Structure formats: structure tokens, C-alpha cells
Amino acid sequence: GNSVTQMEGPVTLSEEAFLTINCTYTATGYPSLFWYVQYPGEGLQLLLKATKADDKGSNKGFEATYRKETTSFHLEKGSVQVSDSAVYFCALSPDSSASKIIFGSGTRLSIRP
Amino acid sequence: EPEVTQTPSHQVTQMGQEVILRCVPISNHLYFYWYRQILGQKVEFLVSFYNNEISEKSEIFDDQFSVERPDGSNFTLKIRSTKLEDSAMYFCASTVTLNQPQHFGDGTRLSIL
């Protein structure tokens, strides 16, 4: 089946620290991979995506590379800010004809000033 | 930037009552979705809708649930006889085609008493 596993939170870092949130997936086809972010009191926003192996998605200083050999899509940022505090969801869409998105359980990130 | 809008932001309903959650997808989008997030748990797919019919639904989406696109702009989720376990955040999403990311609304928090 299709599933997403991401590191449990909460993760607390100091401002300007390096961030990694691990995500691995299981999929039967050729999925597209996403990171969504949920800021306090808001809905889900697409942060970045990758649609095929070795693609790198990037946005707002965040990056994630689609690694088929390790079935991973880890989220990284070189220097986090207080405004990055949010819940981050790794997700996949099983293939281009699939309707649904399958989400990981979310990782809460808190950045200390 | 166009947004998916959901109303109300918070709905409180007595157990056994019917509730309708409303969504206005982005105007040129063709595929519509409902997801839910029980407090502290994963975001779960409920149903997808295209061309005025359900294209996929999860096992959560039982006979108590229905969706409708009553006019050219609204997309609704109805729960006929609410249960305590229906308490959750419900997210509407839309996309223009299947291989594009889904855009999410801010959600409706449904509280069943």
C-alpha cells in the first residue's frame, strides 16, 4: 500500500540552526511527493513538491530531494527563523491519475529566538 | 492569489444533528476534495469529486456523508446524523488537474456535543 512516515515531534531549535525533518514513503507506483506546512490557526499550504526521482523541490529556503533508492524526501533548511514555527506534513500522491493525497502524521517545529 | 474559502470557521452541533460544511474552490479548478484531521492525528482523505460525481472515497466516507456541488461555485460536505467521533477539522481542497498540487482552505473546526 501507500504510506508516509515522518519523524515525530516536537522539534525545538534555536534561530539560525540547521533543520532536517525526515520523511520516508511506501508506494506501489511512481508517486509525487510534497511537503505541506500548517501555520498556527491556518490551513495547509504547499511548501514544495517533487514529481520524479532525483527532483529537488525548494521554496523559502527549504529543500527536499526525491530519493527513490532510499524512498525518502527529507526536508532541510540551512538557517531557520522564528517565523518557520509550524507543523510540517510530508505527503504523497500515488500517481498522476490518483485523486487523493496521503499525509504523514506531521512534525511540529518550534524555533526559539 | 486565488484561495479556497471555507465556512464556517467553527461549527458546534448537537450529536444526531445534520451539519453542512461549505467550500468555495478556486474558480477554474475542476477537482474537489474533502479531508479531515482529528485533533492530534493525521490528515485523512475523505472523498474526491470531479464532473459532478464522486471519483474516489475512503472507508471513512460512509452513508452518513454526502457531497454536492449545488451551483457553479460551492462544494458542500453534509453529515446526516453527527456522532461525537465526527469532531475534527475538515479541510476542502481543489486542483485544476490531477498532476497539479491541491490547494487547501483554512478548514472548518466541527465540534459535536
pLDDT, tens only, B38-55: 988 889 999 999 999 999
Q: CA of A35 to nearest chain B CA: how many angstroms apart?
A: 11
Q: Give phi and psi for A23, each to the nearest 5.
A: -145, 130
Say how many CB pairs under 8 Å bridge A and B. Answer: 52
- Sign of torsion over alpha carbons B103, A90, B9, B21: positive
Lowest mean pLDDT segment, chosen from B1-5, B16-20, B24-28: B1-5
Q: 3-state DSSP call for residue B63?
A: coil
CA distance A101 to B101: 9
| pLDDT range class, residue A98, cuts 50, 70, 90 | low
Q: Give phi and psi for B76, each to the nearest 5.
A: -115, 150
| pLDDT range class, residue A4, cuts 50, 70, 90 | very high
| pLDDT range class, residue A22, cuts 50, 70, 90 | very high
Q: Give the pLDDT mean for A42-59.
A: 93
CB contact under 8 A, A106 and B98: no
Least CA distance to A95: which residue of chain B?
Answer: B99
Chain centroid to Cα B81, Å, comes to 16
Name the average pLDDT for chain A.
92
CB contact under 8 A, B98 and A98: yes
Using CB atoms, which residue from B31, B48, B104 is nearest to A44?
B104
Residue B56 contacts A where some CB pair is shorter than 8 Å: yes
Looking at residue B64, the DSSP 8-state letter turns out to be T
Task: Tell me the per-residue pLDDT of A68-91, one tens digit each, with 9 for 90 and over.
Answer: 999 999 999 999 999 999 999 999
Q: Give phi and psi for B28, each to the nearest 5.
A: -95, 10
